[in-house]
Amino acid sequence: MAMLAIENGNFVTTNVTRKWPKTSASSTIVIETDEPTDGDLERFLTARWGLIAKSKRNKFLWGQVDHPPWQLHNAQLLHLDDSLVTAAGLPEPEGTPHVMYSEGVPVRIGWPKKI
């Protein structure tokens, strides 16, 4: 998987390309960032303190995640060209997207443990 993000003022372009498994797929997203936001919905969607992954032996693992709060901004979707979602076997998204942006935060992930 390759990812490229380009920031130009309030505009952000992200391109993700997957070449494996099976067929390649990609996603290009262009957004315009806006004012900071911090509400219950934003915290619910982004405050995650653990992750779940599947091991090579098909066992589920859990890892603790630690990070400061995201500094989120409202954003408007200007362009979306995506084949990653359907290539992953998920249905095509419907409806109006909820778009937010963050410059990122440092994240620490603990050693995974069997669930």
Share of the chain above pLDDT 70, in %: 100
Q: Is the pLDDT of residue 24 over 90?
A: no
Q: What is the CA radius of gyration of the chain?
A: 16
Share of the chain above pLDDT 90, in %: 78
Q: Is the pLDDT of residue 81 over 90?
A: yes
What is the extent of the structural domain holding 53? Answer: 2-114
Global pTM value: 0.79
At which residue do the structure tokens 């620490």 appear?
A: 108
Q: How far apart are CA 2 and CA 98, in angstroms?
A: 24
Average pLDDT, integer, range 24-48: 92
HSE on the CB side for 10, CA within 13 Å? 12
Per DSSP, 68 falls in state P
If one counts the domains in the chain, the total is 1
